[in-house]
Structure 1
Amino acid sequence: CYTFNVRSGSGGPGPNIWSSNNAWVDGNGLLHLKIAYSGGQWSTAEVYTDQSFGFGTYQFKVVGHPEIMDQNVVLGLFPYTTPAIGPDGTNEIDIEFATWGAQQTQHGNWTVWPAVTGYDSTSYAFDMSGNTGWSTHRFTWGSQQIAFQALTGLSDTNTGLYANWTFAPSNLTLIPQYAIPLHMNLWLFQGKPPADGAEVEMIISEFKFTPAS
């Protein structure tokens, strides 16, 4: 069981207005994240842990259709740096569903940010057209590589695997090396409203962290 804080206030990414009303756990234990329109403004959702997680496997089960989300909507599942570890743009491992304002056709994005400043992030985009309303997304983070997987269905095995990428750079500075908190968010790219004008809701039915042995 993990304890999450709900973000409120304004700021990046986006920037956006983050509302504590836009993230909740229902009676079945499912986490809902929502982009809502109220009082003439759009608001977004983010939750994060105080607990830090390090090397191991991060698995997320998603209910919904991230592969057809609006071009300005982003769903992010990611460990993220703290000021003690490093600045923004370092120490982050992203599973993100987005087309970044229709800049690309694929909705799937995996990105690894370096352990220190002075290096670029490395990304891999993947097609999600075979996705169903239930999907599993995971990565295994080690000191020398990070292996990502996307699967149809809610699965603890490799059944339904439709995309994978292993990032194993010769320069290990490109891989985060310290334990960091976990964030999950649903937000608007560049703070722009959904192009279709519709509110958005996504469900995370499970997050599970398995420490490296």
Structure 2
Amino acid sequence: MKTSFKKNSMILFVASILIILMLSTSSASEPTIEFTYVPPRCSTDLLQGEVKNVNPANYKVAVFIFIPCAPDAAGWWTKPYSNSPLTPISPDGKWACNITTGGIDETATWITAFLVPNGYIPPLCTQCSEIPPELYQYPYAQVKREMSRIITFSGYEWEVKSMCDIEIEVGPGPNYFSDGEEDVWVDENGRLHLKITKRNEKWYCTEVFTKASLGYGKYIFHVTGKVDQLDKNVVLGLFTWDDIASDHHYREIDIELSRWGEETNENNAQYVVQPWDDPGNTYRFHMDLKDEYSTHFFLWNRDTLYFQSLHGHPALPPAPEDIIESWIYHGNDIPPDGNENARINLWLFNGNCPSDGKDVEIIIKSFEFIPNCECDLNHDHNCDMQDWLMFGEDWGRTDCIPSDPCECDLNQDGSCDMQDWLLFGEDWGRTDCPVYPQS
């Protein structure tokens, strides 16, 4: 092992120097498109932008917006109109597009604009699950717009779900959702409160999600409340979600606490990897809490998903008597990380009101995220010299395969190269790496 490490150490050192030059080189003459003004969500202002390094007379802009959640509108839409899908560019390179030309366009969360040559006819989108892939051959700009209300909880900024005061039922459920301070708030002790409330003969549910995309790691939710005794129509969701990743089932990983409308349903909790209806992707179990405190978490990396629920809010790893349930997922639907957020929602199954007609309130004491460590190759919580030696053993190989793997092929592309070196170095020195159970 040591001989192999010495053999490759100079290559690794030189590679770490060269990567600086590799990252700093770019072509200043490439055509580009950028946004100069993005209207706030719920606004009807024009989207504005600018193109560079092209003759504006030879190009147009193709704009698409993404509307979330709404059953009859969710997806990507061509803007400004299907019969006018291209936006002209002024001689000075500036352009503007009306992106609120119908329906509930002002609720759009994602906007993408492509710089396309004259003569190109872009595919039209009316509720597309994804932007047609052929468009990505052209330069583009993309932005995500925030919800109107942002709260701070457990050291993270969270967006509060709303539909711009438009009274429309959206998923999950479908339900009406409120971002009101009386329905979603953080108290003086730093705890998050979510409610289901009846107002004006309508039931309003609640959802929050992190502004930041967190990626692989350990997602820990400390819950306060008798969530084992929720009304039969109430669902508490602790999960990840990516609005625009339909090809990866929206990167949805769920811990859901509910009886799904059945009063006598003994299984009041479940772990889910989407698609939920594929065999082996849902694990249901009965939860009987000792008191009103519980902890629920999942660990996620590119080839492992592990779930666990615990009594109380114990230190981790827990004592055996604190464990309610655990599950290691063995299927093929583990999503890659991307633009997913951590999310918490409290909603009504099929939009049915609580069977007792009462408001519902749940408290999340805290949320914790521990990022994955690519460099903890020996799974001892640390990124140290032992991992460095393991990484160097196969450096330079280009024949890594599942039956003959390479410890250094961190991105699993068959080679141990600079991309793996960058991944390895990101968390060097950490001593808090999540450790995944071996199945």
Q: Same fold (TM over 0.5)?
A: yes
Unaligned 5+ residue runs, structure 2?
1-154, 164-168, 374-439
Range that drifts further, 100-109 or 134-143: 100-109
Count of residue correspondences: 206
Inter-partner Cα distance in structure 1 for 2:190 and 2:267: 30
The yes-or-no answer on 1:2 pairing with 2:164 is: no
Identity %: 38
Larger Rg, first or second structure (1 or 2): 2
Matched AA of 1:2: Y
Which of 254, 271, 281 is the equivalent residue of 1:122? 281
Inter-partner Cα distance in structure 2 for 1:88 and 1:136: 27
After the TM superposition, which residues 1-213 of structure 1 pair with which residues of structure 2 at under 5 Å, given as runs?
1-9=155-163, 10-21=169-180, 22-83=183-244, 85-86=245-246, 89-102=249-262, 104-113=265-274, 122-157=281-316, 158-159=318-319, 160-169=322-331, 171=332, 174-179=333-338, 180-213=340-373
Inter-partner Cα distance in structure 2 for 1:88 and 1:197: 37
Higher percent of residues as strand: 1
Indicate conservation of the 8 Å contact 1:113/1:121, yes or no.
no
| Structure 1 residues 185 and 121: alpha-carbon distance in aligned structure 2, compared to 1, 3 A threshold | farther
| Structure 1 residues 8 and 131: alpha-carbon distance in aligned structure 2, compared to 1, 3 A threshold | farther
Give CA-to-partner distance per residue, 1:47-66, whole Å, 9 cap, x none: 01221121110100000011
Q: Residue 282 of structure 2: SS of its match in structure 1?
A: strand
Matched AA of 2:351: G
CA RMSD, aligned part only? Answer: 1.9
Inter-partner Cα distance in structure 2 for 1:8 and 1:87: 25
For residue 143 of structure 1, report the CA deviation from its aligned partner.
Answer: 1.2
Range that drifts further, 147-156 or 69-78: 147-156
Inter-partner Cα distance in structure 2 for 1:90 and 1:5: 18
Indicate conservation of the 8 Å contact 1:113/1:120, yes or no.
no
Inter-partner Cα distance in structure 1 for 2:240 and 2:296: 14
Inter-partner Cα distance in structure 1 for 2:247 and 2:188: 37
Matched AA of 2:367: F
For residue 132 of structure 1, report the CA deviation from its aligned partner.
Answer: 2.1
Matched AA of 1:102: E
Inter-partner Cα distance in structure 2 for 1:87 and 1:65: 36
| Structure 1 residues 14 and 88: alpha-carbon distance in aligned structure 2, compared to 1, 3 A threshold | farther
Compute the TM-score of the two structures, normalised by the length of structure 1.
0.91
| Structure 1 residues 166 and 107: alpha-carbon distance in aligned structure 2, compared to 1, 3 A threshold | same
Q: Residue 190 of structure 1: SS of its match in structure 2?
A: helix
Compute the TM-score of the two structures, normalised by the length of structure 2.
0.45
Indicate conservation of the 8 Å contact 1:147/1:164, yes or no.
yes
For residue 43 of structure 1, report the CA deviation from its aligned partner.
Answer: 0.5
Q: Residue 297 of structure 2: SS of its match in structure 1?
A: strand
Q: Residue 78 of structure 1: SS of its match in structure 2?
A: strand
For residue 112 of structure 1, report the CA deviation from its aligned partner.
Answer: 0.7
